[in-house]
Structure 1
């Protein structure tokens, strides 16, 4: 029977170009094509075994009919059943149905293996693609959309390949084979059976077309209900505070009623499919019996033909139902493939000129890991490079010997825009000596965070250059630039794992003592020691950390990273004053001996900065120390005084 689209499933999303989407999917799966062909051949041969079965049942029936008692001159004459012939046909049937079972098992096993391997390849391709996409892609596409492509879309493709493709070939073989066998046995009965099936298919298509609009309404209503519930529970406190419960309930009841009406009609119409097809099938059986009996009485056919036809009618109508299901699944897979391959076709970050000779990919972050010769995806480590190659990296001298990165940073006429015709950074120049603390301040949208992203090569600059220790960051791989930085951001990131794993994230060779020392330095050790398993406690929903504790954990992570340049981006903006003092002390200790870039809206936290860069509309409009800028009485002084005026 056709698929019954229940609550939440809705109509099938149609791809813009089904042929192109399936062609891309076929090209991606080309290494699995031989296996798919073997599986489809097994399915087709299994269908042939099933098709031949009714014809053999006809032979058994005819052999039995020959030996049944007959009336001659009013007296019963007992014939003799040829059990040898019956046994021969019976064993042939056993062999056919056993072959059908084995071949279908082989098809299912092969297709299940191939579809899961292909789904694995698709997920790996998406994962690799994510690492190659520029951050500007995620500025316009939500993470939820990318996640949906990895999960829902890949699953839809896998299900179609695993189920619909095999069943489609089997159904076509069974449909054509049953049709041929029916005409071989009797043309008149074949036409009656086809006529009944056509009537059923027409009725089914009419009902599907009529019910489709209700499925669309059901999806819209379901979206309204989900959206309303999410909004109301997400802002539950606001709803309570403004006494909006009555309006919320009224709107929910309206959406719920719409969902009930559309859902009832769509489910009712969809539920008509099964009894309708059963009626058509039974009607076909009745037609076969009536017409067959008449022709058997006339001597046109044997009784066995009627038995065979009753099975062929089922084998003929069943594929017709499966075709509709397979077509819907192909549409769903085409839409999913279109989304997946559109993502895989997105423009990637510009290729790095030294990428082929250096490290195409890094298995593990951290300067120490590379200096120790960590293996990469290409099988090459830093210590395995030629000295001329190592000299091109940050942290190596001209002879290819390791040396510490000091952290001198130079911006020279840097310009940048997220869109080519809309520059954000116009002409940024600054020199930051190693070990100094630089604060970047300015109003929202001034370009502060953008400058940090450019410094770390998350985005490529449009003009000018950025150099670390005199080395242009464009001349070295991105991972080599990233290794020079530790970051503490406003939005803390703690993943499901132990405290130890969170602190030593992506840093090989970290000792337990280093982790403990970092936690002691930020004042987090005592709390961690009080946890049930200490540093081996898994951070999940059952182990809650406050906002301040999460921030201290990320600072400890930055300490363990031990990079020469530190970035602090609004790291204390979401905590209370007392916690801010603790975090500030931890960050001051973290910044010792490192070049630090601090982005802060609370100007009181950057009074001790060696240099303050005041940005507005993508340009540096003032620079100097806190006292120097206040003495100028310019833009910075206005920002600073306005904050204290608001505080007072």
Structure 2
């Protein structure tokens, strides 16, 4: 993509993000432009009064003749000044109200969008990425929505009325008086072009130093253990030095060019040019000294709006990047439901996985033509090596994302016909990664049933073996996760189990629920899950075969495909891959030793 195409794309993205308030921003900019025009009138009025005074001399009669004109000009000038200030203030108010509106609109739109995206989308992204778009990026848009359009309007309005007025006075003086302003834009363009050439190196240097910091901090234990502090410090120092060089290359042309540009349009510089050329033109007999006065007053009056525009434009690049990230988040792919209304599902609905395939990148298949059935009230275990596709299968069943091919049905209904609330009333889950919100333990347990009573919440906590631990906290169930509720990984897992218990789903998916727990917590979690699982349809993802040997059916997955299927005894009798994994794990010897009378 060329530079021009990239700019066009960025412009289109900003336009789409600001679509809901575009009319208000245009109106605000127009009011600011009109106001800026009116605030320039007093400068012309002063010049006109001075010309009247100097042309009439000191005679009292002459002053009496021009007194009425002076008061008229003063009245018009002051009226225009106050009206212009009112219009500018009104434009700023409309722009800020529009900014508040788009801020609320974007945050609600992002929230609604994220409510429809696959849950798997969140697992592949850091929470900071979403937070940046919803907080920092939307806040960054403030300079674009609340200030840029009104500043642009004020600049255009002041420049337009000044140019028309100066050319009406004398076209020759107008040209020389306005000469610094095109040069200003030329210097700014050169500065932007020069810094853009080093932008890639600047960004690479920033990324390198960030990586060096993360590696240095994360590697401190290893560095200290092996005594290589000097090498670690050296890598960090090299990254800092490289970034310093890139920063110098990036800023040197920018600073010098921008300094020259700003020096050109300072009021003193513009006034100096007007007086120098005015003196020359008077000596040539082209104009009179009094004709210089309007240029000496109006031309420098254009400096302030242009300087303000220059400063606000510095934030425009950041705001454009923020708008692009917000736009990307607003267009995140969502889970689309199939047409048609899903029928009511029975509590003992059967789950069927039919010719299921899935690929994360559209090329490499993680799962390939997987089919099986979860009969009501049975336990099905999915086993296999790490990376075989077990957790992906569990997440497809929970509709964290949709399959690339095939389908999953619940009671004969495709999961894509069910809304989220209906799906999770029938399928509960306890995953290895515990996801709790920054709220009280009561709110976390009742997340799926906000209207649950305290008795129901406590009953769920008792089933999950976490009730007594919660009561021991300073504020009991009102304790907030991460504040006065500092729980271990196993305890947090039991809170998530209590949440699933409260929903009381007929189907339960367990994905290595005890993997991160210590021995004591593992026992308590296993007891909690055993009580909760009675009478339900279970799908268990497991690495340890001894934990699922009593399952009704065991499915061994290898490289995304089902290799073996049956119960524990059948799979051992087959003497295939499952039997080899069982033997390698030493489970048979452990079982025999436990049964030995010695």
Distance 2:331 2:4 in 1: 16
Preserved contact between residue 437 and residue 481 of structure 2 (Cα < 8 Å): yes
Cα shift readout 1:530-582 (whole Å, capped 9, x = no counterpart): 22211111112564221111111111111111111111101111122222111
Question: Which moved further from structure 2: 319-328 or 58-67?
Answer: 319-328
Q: 2:566 aligns with which of 621, 624, 630?
A: 624
Indicate the SS of the match to 2:295. helix
Question: Which moved further from structure 2: 262-271 or 243-252?
Answer: 262-271
Distance 2:25 2:294 in 1: 32
How far residue 500 of structure 1 moved from its aligned partner, in angstroms, is: 0.7
- Counterparts in 2 of 1:493 and 1:138: CA distance versus 1, 3 Å: closer
* 1:230 alignment counterpart: 214
Confirm whether residue 45 of structure 1 aligns to residue 34 of structure 2: yes
- Counterparts in 2 of 1:311 and 1:277: CA distance versus 1, 3 Å: farther
Contiguous gaps of at least 5 residues in structure 2: 591-598
Preserved contact between residue 390 and residue 541 of structure 2 (Cα < 8 Å): yes
Indicate the SS of the match to 1:613. strand
How far residue 343 of structure 1 moved from its aligned partner, in angstroms, is: 4.7
* 2:506 alignment counterpart: 564
Question: Which moved further from structure 2: 260-269 or 171-180?
Answer: 260-269
* 1:283 alignment counterpart: 269
Indicate the SS of the match to 2:302. helix
Distance 1:191 1:467 in 2: 77
Confirm whether residue 311 of structure 1 aligns to residue 287 of structure 2: no
* 1:582 alignment counterpart: 524
Indicate the SS of the match to 1:487. strand
Alignment of 1:73-472 (within 5 A): 80=63, 85-134=69-118, 144-213=128-197, 216-264=200-248, 266-267=250-251, 270-272=254-256, 273-274=258-259, 277-278=262-263, 280-281=265-266, 282-292=268-278, 305-321=291-307, 332-345=318-331, 347-354=333-340, 392-395=343-346, 405-418=347-360, 422-461=364-403, 465-472=407-414
- Counterparts in 2 of 1:198 and 1:446: CA distance versus 1, 3 Å: closer
- Aligned length, in residue pairs: 586
Distance 1:98 1:85 in 2: 20
Contiguous gaps of at least 5 residues in structure 1: 1-12, 71-76, 359-388, 396-404
Preserved contact between residue 485 and residue 563 of structure 1 (Cα < 8 Å): yes
What is the TM-score when the length of structure 1 is the normalising length?
0.80
How far residue 639 of structure 1 moved from its aligned partner, in angstroms, is: 1.7
- Counterparts in 2 of 1:300 and 1:422: CA distance versus 1, 3 Å: closer
Cα shift readout 1:371-403 (whole Å, capped 9, x = no counterpart): xxxxxxxxxxxxxxxxxx7xx1214xxxxxxxx
Alignment of 1:584-623 (within 5 A): 584-623=526-565
How far residue 274 of structure 1 moved from its aligned partner, in angstroms, is: 4.4
How far residue 505 of structure 1 moved from its aligned partner, in angstroms, is: 0.9
How far residue 224 of structure 1 moved from its aligned partner, in angstroms, is: 2.1
* 2:491 alignment counterpart: 549
Preserved contact between residue 61 and residue 303 of structure 1 (Cα < 8 Å): no
Distance 1:502 1:33 in 2: 41
How far residue 138 of structure 1 moved from its aligned partner, in angstroms, is: 6.0
How far residue 231 of structure 1 moved from its aligned partner, in angstroms, is: 1.6
Indicate the SS of the match to 2:91. helix
- Counterparts in 2 of 1:92 and 1:421: CA distance versus 1, 3 Å: closer
Preserved contact between residue 415 and residue 424 of structure 1 (Cα < 8 Å): yes
Q: 2:7 aligns with which of 3, 6, 18?
A: 18
Q: 2:445 aligns with which of 488, 503, 527?
A: 503
* 1:361 alignment counterpart: none
Preserved contact between residue 547 and residue 575 of structure 1 (Cα < 8 Å): yes
Preserved contact between residue 192 and residue 288 of structure 1 (Cα < 8 Å): yes
Indicate the SS of the match to 2:586. helix
* 2:46 alignment counterpart: 57
Distance 1:155 1:200 in 2: 30
How far residue 35 of structure 1 moved from its aligned partner, in angstroms, is: 2.5
Preserved contact between residue 41 and residue 81 of structure 2 (Cα < 8 Å): no
Q: CA RMSD in A?
A: 3.5
- Counterparts in 2 of 1:431 and 1:180: CA distance versus 1, 3 Å: closer
Question: Which moved further from structure 2: 47-56 or 284-293?
Answer: 284-293
Distance 2:398 2:482 in 1: 30
- Counterparts in 2 of 1:147 and 1:299: CA distance versus 1, 3 Å: same
Cα shift readout 1:273-332 (whole Å, capped 9, x = no counterpart): 347523553232123224435666898766665443233222334455556566665555
Confirm whether residue 35 of structure 1 aligns to residue 24 of structure 2: yes
Preserved contact between residue 394 and residue 476 of structure 1 (Cα < 8 Å): no
Preserved contact between residue 168 and residue 326 of structure 1 (Cα < 8 Å): no
Distance 2:20 2:434 in 1: 43
Distance 1:215 1:641 in 2: 59
Preserved contact between residue 62 and residue 303 of structure 1 (Cα < 8 Å): no
Distance 1:617 1:27 in 2: 43
Distance 1:63 1:646 in 2: 112
Cα shift readout 1:83-137 (whole Å, capped 9, x = no counterpart): 5544443333222221121111111111111133223323333333333334676
- Counterparts in 2 of 1:167 and 1:573: CA distance versus 1, 3 Å: same
Preserved contact between residue 120 and residue 395 of structure 2 (Cα < 8 Å): no
Indicate the SS of the match to 2:163. helix
